[in-house]
Structure 1
């Protein structure tokens, strides 16, 4: 019996070495919301606050890097503070509890896009030019 168990373990153990595509992120929106709303004064408040800020700023940096690689500007204004990023994200998570089951990075992305939507440059360039009407001369 023992040799059969060891044989099974020997066959199954290497499966853990193969990379598997992850369909979900490391954090869910619920997990991010929990660390971002840690109670001030609790034993984990400082650690959770740093974890929250690090996650959100890392996600935003990744979004901006992806846009830059695609030769696009960031949609988030350059003067936005980390505190504002956290506030916008936490507010979005609070208002959308049904979405928090998904990836936290998707929630950060949705929050920032809602607060600072990207301007559609294609739509701006496709607008027809405004023609000025020639002034009508009055007859005397």
Structure 2
């Protein structure tokens, strides 16, 4: 993501989700300097895809993937899977743990692993928590950045 693309990302998040919760989350994460990186998928002059990686409070060095958005006009065309495929490959190569909470059907197709997250504990349902970038099944407590509170 380049400086100046924040407004386009906000428009995408508002179009992609039923509420403004994800746009609110990104604003709070940016304000708290909790974002490790933001990736966009441009198409022409538009941004049609986006994801953010946030620094987990605990375990140190882990990242949280949220939100992930694809412009509704481009759903079911493989853009989300391709974007997350690059992320999961990077996480594996660098051994960087990335945790995501969401629809297992989608995220497991993108190589996130629910069984790797089976021994994690945290504020969100573990049955919807998946992990990539680790070997085995770590036993860790997940503490997300404060911006996630109330989401």
User: Do they fold alike, i.e. is TM over 0.5?
Assistant: no
Q: Which has the higher Rg, Structure 1 or Structure 2?
A: 1
TM value normalised by structure 2: 0.25
Higher relative contact order (CA 8 A, sep 6+): 1
| Structure with the largest fraction of helix | 1
| Structure with the largest fraction of strand | 2
